[in-house]
Amino acid sequence: MSENDTIQKKSKSQINKAVFFTSALLIFLLVAFAAVFPDVADKNFKLLQQQIFTNASWFYILAVALILLSVSFLGLSRYGDIKLGPDHAQPDFSYHSWFAMLFSAGMGIGLMFFGVAEPVMHYLSPPVGTPETVAAAK
């Protein structure tokens, strides 16, 4: 066996069996529960969602605010100038190019999501007319 083969074998990703199989079992049990008892699962999932919304929405807002402040601090402080690579490396893209790529990605995901979701939303809750009818689909 050559040194190259040894390096390739070591670089293959390994599955943490305990984490993988525990997660797979949990997902399987949830899906099986929802498939076998759809009404009970619907009631329980709605109750769980309501409890999270009622009791933990403040945590979500706090977490987003803290992450935004942390990222802003890192970007605007001296730590924002740290290069991710060798000292002599030049950026592959300018600030303008990065902004254009991020803006395009944001617009693209918005178009992909709302391209599918908006017709469904208008079908289920039309501005005028009866929902979930042929007229609402037009």
> DSSP string spanning the chain?
--HHHHHHHHHS----HHHHHHHHHHHHHHHHHHHH-HHHHHHHHHHHHHHHHHHHHHHHHHHHHHHHHHHHHHHHSGGGG--SS-TT---SS-HHHHHHHHHHHHHHHHHHHHHHHHHHHHHHS-SSS-TTSHHHH-
| 114 in the same domain as 60 | no
In a domain, 99, yes or no: yes
* pLDDT at residue 138, rounded to an integer: 81
* pLDDT at residue 99, rounded to an integer: 96
| 67 in the same domain as 107 | no
| 102 in the same domain as 61 | no
User: How far is 31 from 40, CA to CA, in rounded Å?
Assistant: 13
The range of the structural domain enclosing residue 108 comes to: 89-138
| 93 in the same domain as 77 | no
First-to-final CA distance of the chain: 67
In a domain, 3, yes or no: no
Q: How many domains does the chain have?
A: 2
Domain end call among 66, 82, 98: 82
Task: Say how many CA atoms lie within 13 Å of 133 toward its Cβ.
Answer: 7
User: How far is 106 from 116, CA to CA, in rounded Å?
Assistant: 16
In a domain, 63, yes or no: yes
In a domain, 7, yes or no: no
pTM of the model: 0.50
* pLDDT at residue 137, rounded to an integer: 84
In a domain, 5, yes or no: no
Inter-axis angle of helices 38-76 and 17-36, to 10 degrees? Answer: 140
| 20 in the same domain as 65 | yes
pLDDT tens for the 138 residues of the chain, in order = 555 555 555 557 788 999 999 999 999 999 999 999 999 999 999 999 999 999 999 999 999 999 999 999 999 999 888 888 888 888 889 999 999 999 999 999 999 999 999 999 999 999 888 999 988 888
Which tokens belong to 54?
Answer: 């009622």
| 110 in the same domain as 130 | yes
For the chain, how big is the Rg over CA atoms in Å? 25
| 125 in the same domain as 70 | no
Domain end call among 51, 82, 113: 82
